[in-house]
A and B are shown apart, each in its own frame.
Chain A
Amino acid sequence: MGEGIEARFRLPLGDFALEVALELPGRGVSALFGHSGSGKTTLLRCIAGLERAPQARLVVNGECWQDSARGIFLPTHRREIGYVFQEASLFPHLSVRRNLEFGERRIAVAARRVSLPQACALLGIEHLLERMPDGLSGGERQRVAIARALLTSPRLLLMDEPMAALDAARKAEILPYLERLHDELEIPLLYVSHSIEEVVRLADHLVLLADGRVMAHGELRAMLARLDLPIAFAEDAGVVVDAVVAGHDEAYHLTRLAFPGGEVVVTRQPAEAGRRLRFRIHARDVSLADHRVEGSSIVNLLPVTITEIVGADSPAHVLVGMDAGGTPLVARITRRSCDQLVVRPGRRMWAQIKSVALLG
């Protein structure tokens, strides 16, 4: 059996049913994204075995954890998962160290791939070990909970909106640690979220859920460039691009980021050449020109081929999908500009990018 996660669940849930059939990659971060009530947390709980769907099949990297047709149901404590709940739920009667050891002590020594010092260093919690959970901030508690989950050396990490209960400052405190996990972890991570900001920073793969069903799923960049999905109509719609630091212009304090199809220039980044950086281009920050505009303060110009034009959320605007030599882009322009410039699929034009949001 190959790598990957095969998940099929049918579970009646009051006024709707969770009905999901998914194939997810065996590594990287897959975001389960949807409004509250879309069934994303229930799906995660089904995968963890905390909810028992009457019709289900779950195979994780070749191991069958659940198959209702064959009467297989591995209880939660026998599934090699790490689960991070929305609120940290540390055991209040145990110190941070004992909390961390709780799961670690319950797996065979030979199966331990993560050590306590490693997990503590990864989450920056070395100094908290002897404290009790009540004395920690919300962000610290959540970092301990993540480290505790990692210490069971899971084959699959599940996170249920781990930052939903935190304020913006605490979120900003945790995000870098989650990004580090993304870079260093070799196991798949399923991340439930209703925040597109978190998703674009962390995810490689995006599953869109609505009313208990999978509306669409696929690679994050491709999904964000799709104009037939509701996320394209959100106010902050846009694409993400994974780029590599190509070099710096010390005189002007700028950094060049290269990606398939071109380069953009941003303000000087502390990252060394070769480092991977992800950035986001909001559709509203992209405009189109029928020739290469010289004498403009906009420095980031990319030759593109128009692929698609659809109506936007407002009658005055359209969304224009385009391909910049392998990297999909989306622009939100007025319908009038679209007509005046004769924007149509297949036409080669220039995209002007007013700003780029770096995602760390």
Chain B
Amino acid sequence: MLDATDLGAIRLTLELAAVSTAILLVIGTPLAWWLATTRSRWKAVLGALVALPLVLPPTVLGFYLLVAMGPQGPIGRLTGALGLGTLAFSFAGLVVGSVIYSLPFVVQPLRQAFEAIGRRPLEVAATLRAGPWDRFVSVVLPLARPGFLTATVLGFAHTVGEFGVVLMIGGNIPDRTRVVSVQIYDHVEALEYARAHWLAGGMVAFSFLVLLLLYSGRRSRPDWT
């Protein structure tokens, strides 16, 4: 069965996923809106940058983040100057890594939802006296609700399933950086297959339920692939 370290890893994982998803929605919404509406020539560049974590090995991402967060790296210097110490091997560091790693899973569905709305409903709202912020809140947000649901679920689930980045920048500190995927890795290394099964099976069940929820919520073609 699950022991205290397993439960600690589960709690930490859920905490990490919740915090990261919240930050992702805050950052991802304006980013996705910009990508969906801009005519800037930087659109393609930024779009590609956001999608990069989809194709890069997590170790590459983790490696650069580790370097950047180190005392000599740009992030490390910034956090050092702010008196925060270094982010590597801390929960905050994991959040930063997760946000970057899961960014495309939040930005893509939002961007597609925004693009699907098009300009017309916004023009209509403007002729009905709604200002820019009012238009976003009263027209874009409700019309993009399925996109927000998809983004939230995928961002959360993808962060839960993170392994490589965590291992590179967070290491394996119980209750601070040891998430479920790392815990499973430890169990397997120690040849404790029975304990690994409990956690691994739990991950499969969780991931399946999440995707089932997503697909049954929208019986038609999902718009986030």
B130 interface neighbour in A48, A81, A106, Cβ under 8 Å: A106
Using known A-B contacts A85-B120, A91-B121, A93-B142, determine if residue A149 contacts B130 with beta carbons closer than 8 Å: no
Q: Is the CB of A91 within 8 A of B126?
A: no
Q: A residues within 8 Å of B by Cβ? A: 48-50, 75-78, 81-83, 85, 89, 91-93, 102-103, 106-107, 148-149, 152
B124: nearest chain-A partner, CB-CB: A89
A103: nearest chain-B partner, CB-CB: B128
Q: Is the CB of B124 within 8 A of A106?
A: no
Q: Smallest Cβ distance from A190 to chain B, in angstroms?
A: 13
Chain B, range 24-80, C-beta contacts under 8 Å to A = none
Using known A-B contacts A91-B139, A93-B143, determine if residue A77 contacts B131 with beta carbons closer than 8 Å: yes
Q: Is the CB of B123 within 8 A of A76?
A: yes
Interchain Cβ contacts under 8 Å between A and B, 9 examples: A48-B127, A77-B126, A77-B127, A89-B120, A91-B124, A92-B143, A102-B125, A102-B130, A103-B128
Chain B, range 63-107, C-beta contacts under 8 Å to A = none
Give me the 5 closest cross-chain CB pairs, A-B, nearest first.
A103-B128, A83-B127, A106-B129, A76-B126, A93-B142
Q: Smallest Cβ distance from B139 to chain A, in angstroms?
A: 7
Size class of the B contact interface (CB-based, 8 Å): 10 to 19
Q: Smallest Cβ distance from A92 to chain B, in angstroms?
A: 7
Residues of A within 8 Å of B121, CB to CB, are 89, 91
Q: How many residue pairs bridge A and B at CB < 8 Å?
A: 57
Using known A-B contacts A89-B120, A89-B121, A93-B142, determine if residue A82 contacts B127 with beta carbons closer than 8 Å: yes
Bound complex: CA A83 to CA B122 (Å): 13
Q: B residues within 8 Å of A by Cβ? A: 120-121, 123-132, 134-135, 138-139, 142-143
Bound complex: CA A307 to CA B183 (Å): 99
Q: Is the CB of A50 within 8 A of B143?
A: no
- With most chain B CB atoms within 10 A of its CB, the pick from A89, A107, A152 is A89
Using known A-B contacts A91-B139, A92-B143, determine if residue A50 contacts B124 with beta carbons closer than 8 Å: no
Q: Smallest Cβ distance from B124 to chain A, in angstroms?
A: 5
Using known A-B contacts A76-B123, A89-B120, determine if residue A102 contacts B142 with beta carbons closer than 8 Å: no
Residues of B within 8 Å of A85, CB to CB, are 120, 123-124
A82: nearest chain-B partner, CB-CB: B127
B128: nearest chain-A partner, CB-CB: A103
Residues of A within 8 Å of B143, CB to CB, are 91-93
Q: Smallest Cβ distance from A192 to chain B, in angstroms?
A: 14
Residues of B within 8 Å of A50, CB to CB, are 123, 126-127
Bound complex: CA A75 to CA B129 (Å): 10
Residues of A within 8 Å of B142, CB to CB, are 93
Bound complex: CA A48 to CA B125 (Å): 12
Residues of B within 8 Å of A102, CB to CB, are 125, 128, 130, 138
Residues of B within 8 Å of A75, CB to CB, are 126, 131
Q: Smallest Cβ distance from B135 to chain A, in angstroms?
A: 8
Q: Smallest Cβ distance from A274 to chain B, in angstroms?
A: 38
Q: Smallest Cβ distance from B81 to chain A, in angstroms?
A: 42
Bound complex: CA A75 to CA B120 (Å): 16
Bound complex: CA A77 to CA B125 (Å): 8
Bound complex: CA A106 to CA B138 (Å): 12
Q: Smallest Cβ distance from A124 to chain B, in angstroms?
A: 21
